Amino acid sequence: MGRSGPEVADIFRRYGAAWREQHWRSLSTERRAAMTAIERCRTAALGGHVEQCDHCGERRISYNSCRSRNFPKCQSLARAEWIEARQAELLDTQYFHVVFTIPDQIAAIVFQNAGTVYDIMFRTAAETLRTIAADPKHLGAEIGFFSVLHTWGQNLLHHPHLHCVVSGGGPSPDGSRWIACRPDFFLPVAVLSRLFRRLFLSALQKSFDTGELQFFSSLEPLRDPTAFQRYLNEVRRINWVVYAKPPFGSAEQVVHYVGRYTHRVAISNSRIVDIEDGRVRFRWKDYRHGSQQKVMTLDAGEFIRRFLIHILPEGFKRIRYYGFLGNRYRKQKLARCRELLGMISADAHSEPEDPSDCSEKAEHCTAACLRQCPSCHQGRMVCVEVLGPGSFSAARSPDTS
Looking up residue 205, the CATH number of its domain turns out to be: 3.40.1310
Q: Which residues pair with 286 in a beta bridge?
A: 292
Q: Are residues 243 and 186 in the same domain?
A: yes
Phi, psi of 215 (to 5 degrees): -130, 135
Q: Where are the beta strands (DSSP E) in 287-353?
A: 292-299, 319-323
∠ CA 348-317-244, nearest 5°, is: 75
Verify that 56 and 176 share a domain, yes or no: no
Cα–Cα distances (Å) from 195 to 118, 144, 225, 327, in that order, read 17, 19, 24, 25
Give 282's strand partners. 272, 296
Cα first-last separation, the chain:
6
Alpha-carbon distance 64 to 45, whole Å? 9
**Domain identity same for 319 and 184:** yes
Mean pLDDT, residues 129-157: 93
Same domain for 137 and 34: no
pLDDT greater than 80 at residue 18? yes
Q: Do 30 and 100 lie in a common domain?
A: no
Would residue 211 count as lying in a domain? yes
Alpha-carbon gap, residue 251 to 30, rounded angstroms: 37
User: Considering only CA atoms, which of 164, 165, 149 is closest in space to residue 107?
Assistant: 149
Q: What is the pTM of this model?
A: 0.79
Mean pLDDT estimate for the chain: 84
pLDDT in tens, 198-252: 999 999 999 999 999 999 888 999 999 999 999 999 999 999 999 988 778 776 6
CA distance 52 to 132: 59
Looking at the fold, whether 314 and 168 belong to one and the same domain comes out as yes
Taking Cα atoms as reference points, which of 114, 87, 53 lies closest to residue 253? 87
Rounded mean pLDDT, 181-197: 91
Asked if 251 and 243 touch (Cβ cutoff 8 Å), the reply is no
36 domain-assigned: yes
* Domain-embedded: residue 366: yes
Residue 387's nearest CA partner among 51, 120, 34 is: 51
**258 vs 96, more confident:** 96
Residue bearing the bigger pLDDT, 38 or 26: 38
Nearest alpha-carbon partner for 153 in 277, 71, 271, 320 = 271
Under DSSP, the state recorded for 90 is -
Tell me what pLDDT residue 73 has.
56
Over residues 335-369, the pLDDT tens digits come to: 999 999 999 754 444 444 444 444 455 444 443 45
Q: What is the extent of the structural domain holding 14?
A: 8-71+355-399
> Residues with Cβ < 8 Å from 232, sequence gap 6 or more?
201, 204, 205
Evaluate whether residue 243 is within a structural domain: yes
Do 61 and 208 share a domain, yes or no?
A: no
DSSP state of 356: S
Number of domains the chain is built from: 2
Do residues 122 and 39 share a domain? no
- Dump pLDDT digits (tens) for 162-178: 999 999 999 999 999 99
Do 156 and 131 belong to one domain?
yes
Higher pLDDT residue, 255 or 178?
A: 178
Query: Do residues 54 and 138 both lie within one domain?
Result: no
Please check whether residues 329 and 390 belong to one and the same domain: no
Does any domain span residue 167? yes
SS3 label, residue 401: coil
Strands 59-63 and 319-323: unpaired
The per-type count for the chain, helices as H runs and strands as E runs, is: 11, 14
CB atoms under 10 Å from CB of 30, counted, come to 17
Helix, strand, coil fractions of the chain, as percent rounded to 5:
40, 20, 40
**Residues in the chain, how many?**
401
In sequence order, the 6+-apart residues with CB closer than 8 A to the CB of 341 are 91, 92, 93, 178
The Cα 280–Cα 98 span in angstroms is 33
- Residue 54 domain flag: yes
Confirm whether 83 is domain-assigned. no
Measured CA to CA, the distance from residue 190 to residue 135 in angstroms comes to 15
Indicate whether 116 and 184 sit together in one domain: yes
Residue 147 lies in a domain: yes
Report d(CA 266, CA 10) in Å as an integer: 16
